[in-house]
Structure 1
Amino acid sequence: MKHIELFDLNKFPLYSVVRRTSTQHDSFKETFHAHQGMELQYIHEGKGQLLIDQRSLDIGSGTLCLFQPYQLHRLQPVIDVNNHYIRSFVLFEPSVFEPYLRSLPLLHSFFQQLCQGSLQSPVIYPLREEHDLVKVLTGYGESRVDANSEPYREDAASFLVSLLRHLRPLLSDPGRIPVLNQRPVHRAEQMMQWIERHYTEVFRLESLAAELHMSPYYVSHLFQETTGTSLSEYLKARRIRQACVLLTISDKSVTEIGESVGLGNTSYFCRTFKESKGQTPHQYRLQWKKKS
């Protein structure tokens, strides 16, 4: 499931990457994709477009992009002999670091809004290289934080606290929010919107194809070509995401949760969940309660 969960945030809940460069000799993937965690990406050098939430935005040097968990987006940088794409980013699993912020109520509230709420804009600019947020983002260095290491998790939490302190005033600065242009909805996005309405039901490719007036074969082919993953893998990721939410906020049994997300066979639900998250639904719930 390469373009839905590129990083294993269950094993490593935070990744920090500094000044990753793409040139015309690289095979940069210009597909719609989503990922489990929250991502902050700063563009040091480059230009192009970001397609997100049925909107098109210009991006360029000094742009900070904010991608929420499982938010579908597509970066289209111009990469040729004269144009490189250089960016730094941090990707993290919010549920792992949320407990560290509870003693800071204002920052905790901002953190929840950032990761789960409705943002006015998914991009902020212009930010110069010497801006404090950029210094913090790049100053942490290349890192992959092990979920089983408490000291490293605490260090990563401190890093995120500093990052959030510098980010909060930027999101309330209207001078850094761009004009958003509406664009036509891509066919793949229509498919995802259909899945959003029907993922709790038994999946029928024919029903999806009929609503879009396309053949089942073309629906599957177009989704794979556009997003880099299959409809079945995307559907599985959506169901598992909702199962994680229900395991943490409800007292429903594992069987009831499996049924409510469209995976009615309990043994299949548990097996699918473990393949995706590395642990059973029961273990996931116990781990969450321990953190809380």
Structure 2
Amino acid sequence: MRKNSRPPGGESDHTPAYREDAAPELSSWRREHTVIPDLTFPLNVFHIRDTDPDMLCIPPHWHEHLEWIVVLRGRFSMQIGTGFRELGEGGCAFVNTAELHSAFPLENGSELYALVFGEALLRNHALDHTETRYVRPLLEGRLGLASFYEAREAGEIRKRLLEIVAEYRGGEAGFELLVKSGLLGVLGLACRQSGTPNEDAAKNGRRAQSAVYPLLLHLSEHFRQPIGIAEAAAICCVTPTYFCHVFKRTTGKTLSAYINTLRVHEAEGLLRGGGRSVQEIARLVGYEDAGYFARVFKKLKGTSPSRYAESSFDPLQVNQRAAAAEQEMTFFE
């Protein structure tokens, strides 16, 4: 697609978003080959909204590009790496290279922009401080940026990202320079907000995540099937004792709690899509006992599956209950 032919990101070719009525296997995490219209300027902007049947959400996937997400309206349930968060209007999120991520709308009318770009837009050939202190450490996992930015703390980042979208879609003379400088500016703001870089902590965190990464990929495809500690440790090529330690350190959850989170995350989309009973959805996401599924769902989301599926439920109340449940950190093992 040429940039002059239609607004970049407006009707971009892209891996179709997950449809609520899709078969369960179609929603599994996968590596995505993101369409970049101009490989000499690796950037594309995707507008996720419920008025476009092919862009209803960001399905679980990963790619080699970096990505910024800005929520325009409503709320989204997001996963980035091992972290889960609900972000509302004005919130932003950062996805580093090869990080699993997804975003599912929680309200009608929810919209977001996803800015997917290659590392070339951050790098330069000169080994100046921007390269050695920030860009290279970020790409090598030695500089850890926050993944989620709530609306109250993301004001300037959100403003810059929307300016980048406007420049890219406008395609006027010099837009490439403004887009590139904008991306560097957003990186600078994120670094400032994240505090003084701690390369040792970031390196240790990335090392721990890499140890369990084979299992994360496995669970992205097979979270519906039961798995024990011994099998999970074998996938990671570590001992069961070390696996329990590093998995909890990386994800903040036990193995069973993490699997429950994945299953409930999947169930949310199926419940919003309608047309299925709670019993059927429980089975589709990996629970033989619908009653147990309902208890897990309520513990994590603060409401029952049937009430969640109703269009009349109060999303603010559900959000508050889910936040309280998250603070309790109590999971069904």
Q: TM-score, normalised by structure 2?
A: 0.43
Q: Which has the higher contact order (CA 8 A, sep 6+)?
A: 1
When normalised by structure 1's length, the TM-score is 0.48
